[in-house]
Structures are given as structure tokens and as C-alpha cells.
Structure 1
């Protein structure tokens, strides 16, 4: 039997679907009814992969409804566009994008991703909401320092109190969700055993990288966007830099790395060694962040807590 490769371009109201093997194309509603119609259209055919791009809130229902039914592959929109351009396709329509996604899946032999649990999806939504409230809190605190009118000070204080209460409510909800399952509780216990990782940072790491414990060192560093990208051509040697990956995870690792510089002797030694070698402080901190996520991955894989090295 032929394994079919499907490309799906997702918009607010509809799904444009392309089946590579026979060139069949169809449009479905981006709704529960449309998802059922898509499944019926595919029939009993063997599907190798269904490739799609994340489109904000519009792909969420599709991913939740079909994650356990079809082998879904979520790809980076920028990489998908670069693939289409390399293929020689300049046009950009929903139908063209669906066709290019199907071809991209075959060209790179993309592996379907394991569906995320409902618990992790809820934790991610709560984390996004909390991050937004933290930004609001910072903005209100900065505004309060420059205001001199009593009415504005009073309103800013009231808003700040509300935001702080909402953050506390989300922290309680996040802690309850983590404690509701044995595996997430154990993972957070392992993460919190590491110097520099507190309850908030552990929850962020668990939410933003649920793959922890299943990857090797290079994979976890690359997925976090902490692996240096080398630039060189002939005799020219450019500066390496980090990028791509999951920026929210990098943001969540920054403060734990600073704390680890004080309380983790090994990471402190690494930081000092890099600084002594002439590396900028930011480069040395990024190296510590990478070590943190690699250690976390190794500990979770071994199912053991962090312990200091014997003297």
C-alpha cells in the first residue's frame, strides 16, 4: 500500500488539504465538522505524515482533534517558505502552501510528532497567560515610578494589585496541575533539585520542553536554540551565534543560569574559565544556560535528582 503524504494549510475558517501521491486537493471547514470530513476523505488509506504550519490560535483545534488520529508534523513557517522558494515556487496561496508542505514532508522525511497530553497543553496555555501578566506587572511598576498625579497613582496601584493576584492564582493552578500526575511531579522534583531552578522555572521548563529526558545533548541544545551556529566560508571566519529554537525557553533559563553561577560550583567554574579565556559575559552565560538544559535532560533521562560532585 502507498503511504500518503498530506499537506494542510490552516487558516481561520478553512483547511486546504493536498495529497501528494495522486494530486488530490480539497478544502474543509476549520471546525469539528471539517475535521470529521477530512478524516472521512482520507478513508482507510495509509498516511505517512500530515504536514502543517502553526498559525497562532487557528491550528490549535486541528492539532488537538487529530493529534491522536493522524501522524501530524508541525513545521517552522519560515523553513516551509524557504523550501518553497528553493523549489522554485514564487506564488503563495493556501492551495500552493498545502502542496509545498506535502512535498517538504517527503523531501526531508519528516517524522510525525508524538501527540501532547492534555495536561501539557493546559500548562502551556497557563504559562503563556502568566508570561503576559508578568509583562503587565513590569510595565505597571515602571509606570508607577514616573507618575506624580494622585489619581493615576491610585489607578496604577489598583491594576498592579489585580495583576499580582491573578499571577498568584495562575501559580496555584499550575502547581495543582503538575501535582495531579506522578510523572510531572517527579520531573519537577528532579528539576528543582538543581541549584538555580525554582518552582516557576521548573514549571516553565516542563511546559516549554516536554521532550526533556528523551533527547541527546545536541538535540536538547538545538531545540532550545542554545547551540552555536557556525558561519565560515573559505578563509572567512564569522562570529558564531545562537538562534531559532524555543525563545521562551531561553528566556526562562536566563535567571536560573545567573543563580547557578553563585550556587553551582561546576557551572561557576565553567563561567569563570570562559571569562578568563576572553569570552564576553553574555557568551559565558549562554554556555551556562546550555549546560543547565543538558544536565536537566540527563537527570530526567536517568530518573535521578541532582547531587553535588564528591570532592
Structure 2
């Protein structure tokens, strides 16, 4: 592990805090093309084994694509995993510099694992990246509809009229996004979308989410993919105690809650036999 050079990058909207281990090099660069050029210069002086970043809602996308284009292995993890690792190391303080250092240390641990490759983010082509953007926007619109519906339940007459107008627009926008997703899926992912659609209870929205957010689909076996998404119940045993197997903690830890929100209703639909699931 000590011979491997690993890099941790703490990502924010404007900056990237970069830490190289074990050389203990640290540099802060801009989260834009000029900063990427500085990052390239810094990393070119090292034999980098793995670069690790946290998922930050999209701020990491550009630098991930840049690093992959240079041929580096990149892993993007749920921030909860990084914070749990920091606590396990007794590092309770949190700054961008500390986070970058801890990410580099965690990258060393991941690099030493025999199943290292499952942590490495696969290069995403433009078609799948565009689909992921569509799915993310759909999720935002659905959340806005839910928020407005909650407001409506306790709103005055004046507010209700305004909320109804907003809901009408949002529902129209949702239909438009759904149409765009369906067209994109039919055009670029016809084979696998047809296979998914053959399962009763899985509709266009769920197909879009699975194809856009789970690029590993089709490359992992059923046990691996269910564990990745957070649908596989994990053991909770200690000594003679045999705890109940649950998926909730796994869903929380995996960062895949939004996928489960789509997929679990489809499972219930399948079990009930009422095939109206989207």
C-alpha cells in the first residue's frame, strides 16, 4: 500500500483541493479548465494509481471526465462513506485540506483491495451522460411538484390559485421531460430498454433512471447489482445474536435512495399483480 501513489480531491463549486499521498503534496486549483491544466501538471510528476473524489451534486463531473480522458483510474464515493472513514481514523475536524488528505488515504485502502475494480468509475459516454442529466432534471421537477402539493394542503384561497398554476406548469414540464427521456432511450438504448420493459411493473420512468444512473447494469451479476443499489439485505449478526436482515441502512449508506424510491414501488407492483407502475 505504501508504494502506491493515490490522490484525494475535495471538490467545491469554485475550487479543487488536491492531496497526493504518500508524497504529502497539497495544492488548491480552480474548478475550471485553467485549474485542470495545473492539476495535470501536478499529477504528471507522479505514478498515480487511483484518484478519489466525493460526489458533490455534479460539481465533480467535469474534473472526473478530464482525469478519465488522461487515463487515470477515478473513483467517486458517497460523502457518507468518506466521513465514516474519517471518524474511524479519529479525524473529527473537517476542512477542505483535511478532507482531501483523508480521501487520498482512503484511496490507498481501496487500491489495496482485491475487488478494487468495482470502485473505479467507468467512462461514461455522451449518450448516457445526457440521459443522466435528463433523469436528474426529472427528479428535481418531481420534487418541486411534491413541495407545491404539500403547500397546497394548508394554503389560503389566493395561494391555492397560484399553486395550481405552478403545478399545471410543472406537470406539463414533467410530461415534456418524460417524452425526451423515452425518445433518447429508444434511440440509443433500445436493446436493454426492451429487456427491462419486458418485466411487468417496470415503466418508462424507471427504465430511464436505471439506464441513466446505474451504468453497471448488465456488467454485474444480480447479487452485485442489488448490493450496489442498496436492495440486498445485509447480515446484522454478532456472537450468538442473529439480527434481522434489512436494506434500509444499506440504502442510506450507498447513496442510492432515489433509485430505490423508483424501484421498490415496482417490486410491490410486481408482487401485487396491479401493473400500473411507472
Cα RMSD of the aligned pairs, angstroms, is 2.4
The 3-state SS of whatever aligns with 1:180 is helix
The 3-state SS of whatever aligns with 1:58 is coil
Q: TM-score, normalised by structure 1?
A: 0.75
Aligned to 2:215: 210
> Can you give the 5+ residue segments of structure 2 that lack an aligned partner in the other structure?
none
Aligned to 1:131: 139
Matches within 5 A, 1:265-280: none
Q: TM-score, normalised by structure 2?
A: 0.83
Aligned to 1:255: 265
CA distance in 1, matches of 2:18, 2:88: 22
The 3-state SS of whatever aligns with 1:121 is helix
CA distance in 1, matches of 2:147, 2:83: 35
Return the offset for 1:12.
2.6
Q: Against the structure 1 CA distance between its residues 139 and 94, is the aligned structure 2 distance closer, same or farther, given a 3 Å change threshold?
A: closer
Aligned to 1:296: none
- Kindly indicate whether the alpha-carbon contact (under 8 Å) linking 2:6 and 2:22 is maintained by their aligned counterparts in 1: yes
- Kindly indicate whether the alpha-carbon contact (under 8 Å) linking 1:5 and 1:48 is maintained by their aligned counterparts in 2: yes
Aligned to 1:22: 23
Q: Against the structure 1 CA distance between its residues 59 and 148, is the aligned structure 2 distance closer, same or farther, given a 3 Å change threshold?
A: closer
CA distance in 2, matches of 1:23, 1:146: 56
Aligned to 2:206: 201
- Kindly indicate whether the alpha-carbon contact (under 8 Å) linking 1:205 and 1:252 is maintained by their aligned counterparts in 2: no
- Kindly indicate whether the alpha-carbon contact (under 8 Å) linking 2:8 and 2:102 is maintained by their aligned counterparts in 1: yes
Q: Deviations over 1:71-106 (max 9, x none)?
A: 111122222222233333343222222222112111
Q: Against the structure 1 CA distance between its residues 106 and 167, is the aligned structure 2 distance closer, same or farther, given a 3 Å change threshold?
A: same
Instruction: Give the greater-gyration-radius structure (CA).
Output: 1
Return the offset for 1:234.
2.1
Return the offset for 1:232.
2.3
Count of paired positions: 260
